[in-house]
A and B are shown apart, each in its own frame.
Chain A
C-alpha cells in the first residue's frame, strides 16, 4: 500500500473524491507504515482505533456528499496540542498520562474539516530544543542519512516527530508549533515544507504554552500546495484566544501557482554570517536567481538588529516559559512527588518531572524576571524586540514584499553532536528563524537542494504580517525549480 502513503495531500483528496480508494484504506496504509517505522520514534502515541473510526465517518460523509475540505486526510499531531481523551504530554514526564477533557482549537478545526488523527508526534520537551533530543520519549531519528553513512541524524526540533513523520510518508501532513524556529528548522532538516503563520493567525487555545508572545501553530507537508491546504483549515479567529486575530482566512491554495512578477524580494545582508557553509550561500543565491527568473526583483536590504534577535529571544522566551510552566506543581494533573511540606512537594515534583533543558530555561527565566534584574534583562530585551520589528517594517514600508534567507545555518547534524558542553551551541541553530517570531511575522521553509552529503537544505521566505499568500506563491516558484526531496527508506 506504499502508493497510498506516497501521494501528496492534494492527490489523496482527488483520489478520495473520485472514490479510487476509501479513507479507511488510506488510514490503514498509513497505520501500517507507522508500524514499520517505529525505529524513527516519530510518534509517541499511535491512535489506530481513533483513526479507523474517524476514517469510517469520513467515508460516510463522502458517500453522502457532505465531505469537508480535508475529508479523510490522515494527519499527525504534535504532542503539544491537547486532544480530547487522547494522552497529551508535551513529551514531558511532568504531564505523565495527562488526558485532556478538551480539544485544542487548531485540531478541532482540522476535525471539523474531516481530517483523521493518526497519532501524536514526538517533540522536544515543552518545545524547548532544536533537535528533538530533549524529549522524555527519547530522540527522533531522522529518515535521512548522510551518503554512505549509518550515523543517526536529528530531524531538527522542536517539532521533530511531525517533520520526520511527514518526510517518511507516515502522514500526509502534520501540525507543529514554532516559537523560535520549531517548524521551519525541522522542515528544512527533513526536506519538507513548513510555515509559521503571522502571530495571531492560528489560535493558541489548547496548545501547551511555552512562550505565549512567540508561540504559533502551523502545518507541515511535502509540498507547498499541501501546506496551503492545511493552513486554511488551521487558521481562523477563536474567541477563546484573546490574541487570535479576527480577519477572514483567505484561500491560501489559490496563491499557489500565482505569478510573482514584479514582487520585490529583500535579501538581508546581515544573514550572511561567519562560518556558514559555502553550500548554503550558493543555495541562497540560486533561490534568488529562481525568483528573479520568475519575474521578481531582488534588492539588498538591511536588518541591522538581526544579531540581537537570538540573545533577546533567550531572555523573552525563558521569562515567559518560567511563568507558563509554574502551573506544573503536582496538584491538578501529572506527576506528584511527595515532600515534607507543600513547598517540598513542588520542588521535588518539578525537579523530577522537568528534564535538564526545561529546568535550565525556567531558572534563566526566573532570574531575568527577579527583583533587581528585570530592567537590565527583560525590559531591555523587549526594547530590542521593538527595534527588530522596526527593521522589518522599514523594509516593508520601502516597498519590499518578502525576504529570502537561508532557513538554517547548517544541514542536519548527528544525535549527540551538539550542545553537550555549551547550551548556546544548540541555540545558534535558530539564528535565521528566531527574528521572525520576535517580529510576529509569517515565515515559510521550503526545500531547495541537498548538500554534498546528500542532506536536504531549505530556504526561508519572510512575509508582511498576514501575507502568507505571498509566501505560498514564492515558495511554489522555488519548489518548481528545485523539485521535491525524499529520503530512501532504510527503516
Chain B
C-alpha cells in the first residue's frame, strides 16, 4: 500500500501536525518508503495467531480507589504556557 498527497494531508490533520504544501511530496516519499519496508509482513502466515497484548504474562493489579497524590494545583500548573488562577488557558473553543 502507498499513500497519496491527500492521504498525507489527512494523516497530518489527524495527528494535529501542520504540514506546509511544499512538504507534502517529501513526506509522502518518506512515508511510502517506510510502508514499503513493512509490506514484507504480508508474507507471514498469521492465521489463528493471537495478537500480543502483553509480553510478560501478568494480571493487572488493582489499587484502592483513593486519592494518593494531588491537591497541589501549583505543582500541576507550574509548567503551563498560559494560566489564570488555577486553570490552564486555551483558545476559545465554543462559538
Partner of A386, one of B8, B12, B51: B51
A437 vs chain B, min Cβ distance (A): 9
**Are A342 and B93 interface neighbours, CB within 8 A?**
yes
Pairwise interchain contact A314-B15, C-beta atoms closer than 8 A:
no
Assess whether A272 is interfacial by the CB under 8 Å rule.
no
User: Inside 8 A of B75's CB, which chain A residues have their CB?
Assistant: 101
A30 within 8 A of B: no
Interface pair B17/A465, CB less than 8 Å apart: no
* A34-42, A51-59, A360-368 - the one binding chain B: A360-368
Known: A99-B78, A333-B81, A334-B79. A308 touches B41 (CB 8 A): yes
Would you give the shortest CB distance from A201 to chain B, in whole angstroms?
9
Q: Are B78 and A101 closer than 8 Å at their CB atoms?
A: yes
Q: Which residues of B41-95 have CB atoms within 8 Å of chain A's CB atoms?
A: 41-42, 44, 46, 49-56, 58, 60-61, 63, 72, 75-76, 78-82, 88, 90-93
With known contacts A200-B56, A342-B91, A423-B34, A366–B79 Cβ distance under 8 A: no
B35 nearest CB across to chain A (Å): 8
Q: Is B33 an interface residue (CB 8 A)?
A: yes
**Contacting chain B: which of A278-286, A348-356, A446-454?**
A348-356
| B18 at the binding interface (Cβ < 8 Å) | yes
Is the Cβ of A311 less than 8 Å from the Cβ of B52? no
Interface of B is mostly: loop
Interface flag for B38 (CB, 8 Å): yes
Indicate whether A236 reaches chain B with its CB closer than 8 angstroms. no
- Contact assessment for A322 and B15 in the assembled complex, using a CB-CB cutoff below 8 Å: yes
Tell me the residues in window 17-62 of chain A with beta carbons closer than 8 Å to chain B beta carbons: none
Contact yes or no, B16 A350, CB < 8 A: yes
Q: Are B55 and A199 in contact (CB under 8 A)?
A: yes
Chain A residues with Cβ under 8 A from B53's Cβ? 382
Partner-binding segment picked from A110-118, A159-167, A188-196, A238-246: A238-246
Contact of B79 among A199, A332, A338, A382 (CB under 8 A): A332
Q: In the complex where A342-B93, A347-B17, A350-B16 touch, is A367 in contact with B31 (Cβ < 8 A)?
A: yes
- Interface residue? A379 (CB, 8 A): yes
B3 adjacent to chain A (CB < 8 Å):
yes
Q: Say if the beta carbon of A343 comes within 8 Å of chain B.
A: yes
Distance (whole angstroms) from the CB of A454 to the closest CB of chain B: 33
Name the interface residues of A361-387: CB closer than 8 Å to any CB of B.
362-364, 366-367, 370, 373, 376-377, 379-387
Chain A, range 160-217, C-beta contacts under 8 Å to B: 198-200, 213
Partner of A341, one of B42, B72, B82, B91: B91
Closest residue on chain B to residue A439 by CB atoms: B55
Q: Are A386 and B49 in contact (CB under 8 A)?
A: yes
Given contact pairs A332-B79, A351-B17, A239 touches B55 in the complex (Cβ within 8 A): no
Residues of chain A with a CB closer than 8 A to B56's CB? 198-200, 243, 245, 440, 465
A99 touching B79 in the complex, CB below 8 Å, given contacts A341-B92, A359-B17, A366-B14: yes
CB contact under 8 A between A351 and B31, given known A308-B40, A382-B53, A387-B49: no
A to B CB contacts below 8 Å, 14 in the list: A200-B56, A242-B61, A331-B80, A331-B90, A332-B88, A333-B79, A333-B80, A334-B81, A350-B15, A359-B17, A366-B14, A377-B38, A381-B41, A387-B46
Q: Other CB < 8 Å A-B pairs besides A99-B78, A311-B37, 12 of them?
A: A242-B61, A243-B56, A311-B41, A331-B80, A333-B79, A341-B92, A364-B35, A382-B53, A383-B51, A386-B49, A386-B52, A389-B52
